[in-house]
Structure 1
Amino acid sequence: MSEKNREGKRTARERLAEERERQKARDKQRRVILVSAAVVGVLALAAVGGLLAANAGDDDNKKETAGPVVAPKGASGDDKLAIPLGKDSAKSRLTVWEDFRCPACKQFEDGYSSTINELAAKGQLKAEYHLATLIDGNMGGSGSLHAANAAACAQDAGKFAPYHDELFKNQPPEPDDAFADNGKLIDLAGKVDGLVTDTFKKCVNDGEHNSWVAKSQEAFGKANLRGTPTVLLDGKDIFADQRNPVTPQKLKAMVEKANQ
């Protein structure tokens, strides 16, 4: 084979490799757009369902939330109803209202959690998670309450973020109240290194933070928010403009710019 032919084949291979990389980049961008669009679309429906749930109340869980309000360790904000992630020195604040049974919340977490965790780890973003129980009120059951309590127990152990992510990764279908089973919640905690201890299991089984979760849900109702997830970056709803939502890439760029 002549040197010219070898060079031609090498160049062709390089062109093919470059085109593959460009296609990968286009595919990745398309997935991001689709995820953001899906979140916005689901949120439009969740706004109605969430408000119905907020108005429906949660009579079935009143007995479980009748005890004293015990906030998890490190909780912050008004009445200590927020679970913080990240450093106080971060220049950007992300406020997230979520329900562990909420499909739209899972859509949001699937698309944005890695970016949020990355920015928090860099000290550029402080996230504050508020837990709600809208789906319990709308669909019946107690999975939202029990999952939120378990997440608060994980916060006591300093492992809220990884357990929070595991709950969304393993979210059951909306009508399935699987998270009402404390045994399942403890099994999922086994996916987080060092979380399952006697203290954690007792906290979950005793519903130690149930009344705190109920107070958080009450605050959600009083805030007149449209549904879950509600996500505010420095006080502004990132999904307010459904034609131009804040994608994970835009979120990262906005936070990095604020921290310059």
Structure 2
Amino acid sequence: MSEKNRDGKRTARERLAVEREKQRAAEKRRRALIVGASVVCVLGLAAVVGVLAANSGKEKKSDTSGPVASPSGATGKDALAIPVGKDGAKSTLTVWEDFRCPACQAFETQYRSTIHELVDSGQLKVEYHLVTLIDGRMGGSGSLRAANAAACAQNAGKFTAYHDVLYENQPAETEDTFGNNSKLIELAGKVDGLDTPTFQKCVNDGTYDDWVAKSYAAFQNSGLTGTPTVLFGGKNIYADQTMTPAKLKQMVEAENKG
């Protein structure tokens, strides 16, 4: 073999050795990057878990799963219903309503006199559950603020009168008029003896906001979807197209005779 050929083969081997060394170095860098990226992912995951844990702690501060302040005389599970009428009444009407809800106003306007008559005669008791459905759909806080104010009126023994005043002065569904506490206090002036410093403080402090939120949570958990939901004998009579105030009166009177 000539000297020239030997030099050529030697040079080729050297080039191959250099190339292999470059490949080994590149592989080492690749493994280092993978390990580094894995560490970053673990640290990132730890950071995310930490943030979630911190947020979870914050949410618990506004959690209404435990006991909350309820208005005077509230009854039922977790004291979420405001009762109107005599305890001994044989018939019970359960009403889920929202003070911003136009359909609720329509129901109240149509059935109010009949319900008052049956309540006053001792034949019917009504359990009102207040929810904030419209706030969630339309924005604003009028449902919540009005419900809290109605709970404050319950403390003063003026729930029924103030309840009726709110519906008589209900704003358009798209307007959040009830979101203004001063408006709710102004309307309290239409109820004899309600507009007092105690009532005003209760309204402005949002004393029963958590109670209202818990009532709405109960509404959602029960599978109900609309307001008003009016239950008599376990059936939603508001969904009955044949129902009338006269028919409701007949049903209550028949149940009392039985």
The normalised TM-score by structure 2 is: 0.73
Between the aligned partners of 2:238 and 2:200, the Cα distance in structure 1 is 37
Q: What secondary structure does 1:239 align onto?
A: helix
Greater relative contact order: 1 or 2 (C-alpha under 8 angstroms, separation 6 or more)?
1
Q: What secondary structure does 1:127 align onto?
A: strand
Post-superposition Cα deviations, 1:75-103, rounded to whole Å, max 9, x if no partner, equal 00000000000111111110000000000
- In structure 2, the residue matched to 1:50 is none
- In structure 2, the residue matched to 1:41 is none
Shift of 1:257: 1.6
- In structure 1, the residue matched to 2:78 is 79
- In structure 2, the residue matched to 1:18 is none
Contact 2:228 2:238 in 1 (8 A): no
Shift of 1:192: 0.4
Between the aligned partners of 2:134 and 2:145, the Cα distance in structure 1 is 12
Q: What secondary structure does 2:213 align onto?
A: helix
Q: What secondary structure does 2:239 align onto?
A: coil
Shift of 1:66: 6.6
Shift of 1:240: 3.3
- In structure 1, the residue matched to 2:203 is 204
Between the aligned partners of 1:240 and 1:169, the Cα distance in structure 2 is 23
Shift of 1:241: 3.2
- In structure 2, the residue matched to 1:111 is 110
Structure 2 residue corresponding to 1:248, chosen from 245, 248, 256 = 245
**Structure 2 unmatched ranges of 5 or more:** 1-58
**Structure 1 unmatched ranges of 5 or more:** 1-61
Superposed, 1:17-96 pairs within 5 Å as 69-96=68-95
Moved over 4 A (4+): 65-68
Between the aligned partners of 1:257 and 1:97, the Cα distance in structure 2 is 24
Shift of 1:69: 1.8
Post-superposition Cα deviations, 1:2-46, rounded to whole Å, max 9, x if no partner, equal xxxxxxxxxxxxxxxxxxxxxxxxxxxxxxxxxxxxxxxxxxxxx
Larger-Rg structure: 2
- In structure 2, the residue matched to 1:159 is 158
User: 2:130 matched to 1:131?
Assistant: yes
Q: What secondary structure does 1:158 align onto?
A: coil
Q: What secondary structure does 2:225 align onto?
A: coil
Between the aligned partners of 1:127 and 1:221, the Cα distance in structure 2 is 20
Between the aligned partners of 2:63 and 2:159, the Cα distance in structure 1 is 24
Matched to 2:166, the amino acid is: L
Matched to 2:97, the amino acid is: E
Between the aligned partners of 2:81 and 2:240, the Cα distance in structure 1 is 25
Q: What secondary structure does 2:238 align onto?
A: coil
- In structure 2, the residue matched to 1:42 is none
Between the aligned partners of 2:63 and 2:206, the Cα distance in structure 1 is 11
Aligned length: 197
- In structure 2, the residue matched to 1:148 is 147
Between the aligned partners of 1:131 and 1:101, the Cα distance in structure 2 is 11
The normalised TM-score by structure 1 is: 0.73
Q: What secondary structure does 1:259 align onto?
A: helix
Between the aligned partners of 1:230 and 1:155, the Cα distance in structure 2 is 21
